[in-house]
């Protein structure tokens, strides 16, 4: 960890000196992870029904990208609201999670049943993104409140479930190919309701930090967050995360479109099932990365995943998109495995470096900036796809490469591996 003052501490706490904490009950991490799985199925529910929506409203490829951008924009607005207002650390994480899962289920149902065209749909998807800001970052805070001593491994399980939740609408589409697309979207709302019930029953963990002071002497929340950004270890983790985010959601948005334009699409493959597999395999990457972090540390696992996903993107852009179906499918599965395996470790590294009473806000603002980057990446690649084809992936390659450079202080050779 780099030097730097952190509010509420006499100085930076070395990673090796973090005191051990009792192990949480065995069921807690899987319980929160399953709730995250169901809640985040809202994220790409529209993409799973993209063909139906395109036919009904006459949408182009770029318009489907705009629906994803609307969710990302809502998520950014929500994370900034939670972070800058301090709500993420002033109220119980479980209560915020439950309220947002309920509102997200309602907004997703409104999108399915009440949208009359693209303009209405964009508004509903923005609200869905707004509510996801209380599901994803607050799910991470719940994990840290229950299992702070093994945040990297526990967050790997949580993000792995988020990945599978992201892919879940594609599986629902594959299982119900004869369904109206609106039924697939409504199924995600039902899963979000289950998510709210699960977290409402569990509540917050015993290790959640007390809320920051709210009296006249308290420092303004933005000032506290800026103080966290001045900590070199937090800044390095955040820079790595930003490079990772440039690639991640643009890749997930592109997956069904790239498959349709590839040899797999020409061969008549089941694109919904393949889309699910390419995205969901990232969950296995997260689980494997969580196990590896217990030996090698979160920073080195994150660096390895960035290098792997960047290499896959480079190979695909340089000609891999023209490969025969089997090697192309293996390349996409490798890319899907590595593209998200680093995500939980950025959160673990940032949480470890941030002030204890501001973990929720620090993660929320990091998420907000990262998701702001996804807006540009998604708009760029979906807007250019029809013109340049699969070679549009060249635009994603700089993300993981720059992320590796930003993370360098934490994974450089000779530095002792921090705990996972």
Q: What is the C-alpha separation between 308 and 351, in angstroms, rounded?
A: 24
| 398, part of any domain | yes
The pLDDT assigned to 331 comes to: 97
Per the structure, the count of domains in the chain is 1
Residue-wise pLDDT for 372-402, tens only, equals: 899 999 999 999 998 999 999 999 999 999 9
| 322, part of any domain | yes
Residue 247 has pLDDT above 90, yes or no: yes
Residue-wise pLDDT for 249-300, tens only, equals: 999 999 999 998 888 888 777 888 899 999 999 999 988 988 888 888 889 9
- The CATH number of the domain holding residue 247 is 1.20.1250.20
| 21, part of any domain | no
Q: What is the C-alpha separation between 362 and 229, in angstroms, rounded?
A: 9
* Number of residues assigned to the chain: 420
Single out the residue of 239, 246, 283, 204 nearest to residue 394, CA to CA.
246
| 349, part of any domain | yes
| 212, part of any domain | no
Element spanning 245, H or E: helix 232-260
Residue-wise pLDDT for 53-94, tens only, equals: 888 888 887 888 889 899 989 988 988 887 777 776 677 888
Regarding predicted confidence, which is higher, 315 or 136? 315
| 6, part of any domain | no
The range of the structural domain enclosing residue 276 comes to 27-207+220-411
| 73, part of any domain | yes
The pLDDT assigned to 10 comes to: 36
| 5, part of any domain | no
């Amino acid at each position: 960890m780099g030097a730097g003052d952190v509010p509420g501490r006499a100085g930076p706490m070395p990673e090796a000196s973090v005191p051990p904490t009792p192990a949480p009950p065995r069921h807690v991490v899987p319980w929160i992870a399953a709730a995250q799985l169901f809640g985040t199925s809202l994220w790409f529910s529209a993409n799973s029904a993209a063909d139906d929506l395109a036919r009904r409203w006459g949408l182009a490829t770029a318009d489907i990208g705009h629906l994803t951008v609307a969710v990302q924009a809502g998520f950014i607005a929500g994370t900034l609201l939670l972070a800058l207002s301090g709500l993420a650390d002033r109220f119980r994480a479980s209560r915020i999670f439950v309220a947002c899962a309920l509102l997200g289920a309602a907004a997703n149902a409104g999108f399915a049943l009440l949208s009359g065209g693209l303009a209405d749909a964009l508004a509903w998807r923005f609200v869905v993104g707004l509510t996801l800001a209380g599901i994803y970052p607050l799910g991470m805070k719940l994990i840290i409140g229950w299992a702070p001593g093994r945040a990297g491994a526990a967050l790997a399980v949580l993000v792995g479930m988020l990945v599978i939740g992201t892919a879940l609408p594609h599986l629902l589409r594959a299982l119900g190919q004869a369904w109206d697309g609106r039924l697939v979207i409504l199924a995600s709302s039902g899963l979000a309701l289950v998510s709210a019930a699960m977290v409402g029953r569990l509540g917050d963990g015993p290790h959640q930090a007390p809320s920051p002071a709210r009296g006249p002497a308290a420092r303004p929340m933005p000032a506290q967050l800026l103080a966290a950004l001045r900590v070199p270890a937090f800044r390095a983790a955040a820079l790595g995360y930003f490079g990772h985010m440039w690639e991640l959601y643009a890749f997930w948005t592109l997956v069904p479109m790239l498959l349709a334009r590839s040899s797999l699409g020409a061969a008549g493959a089941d694109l919904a099932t393949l889309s699910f597999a390419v995205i969901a395999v990232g969950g296995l990457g997260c689980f494997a990365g969580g196990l590896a972090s217990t030996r090698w540390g979160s920073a080195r696992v994150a660096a390895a995943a960035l290098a792997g996903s960047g290499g896959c993107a480079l190979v695909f852009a340089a000609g891999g998109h023209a490969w025969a179906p089997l090697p192309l499918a293996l390349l996409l599965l490798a890319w899907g495995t590595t593209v998200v395996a680093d995500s939980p470790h950025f959160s673990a590294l940032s949480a470890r470096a941030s002030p204890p009473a501001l973990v929720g806000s620090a993660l929320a603002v990091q998420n907000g900036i990262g998701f702001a980057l996804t807006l540009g990446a998604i708009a760029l690649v979906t807007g250019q796809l029809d013109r340049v084809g699969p070679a549009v992936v060249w635009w994603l390659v700089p993300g993981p490469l720059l992320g590796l450079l930003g993370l360098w202080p934490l994974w450089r050779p000779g530095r002792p591996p921090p705990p996972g």
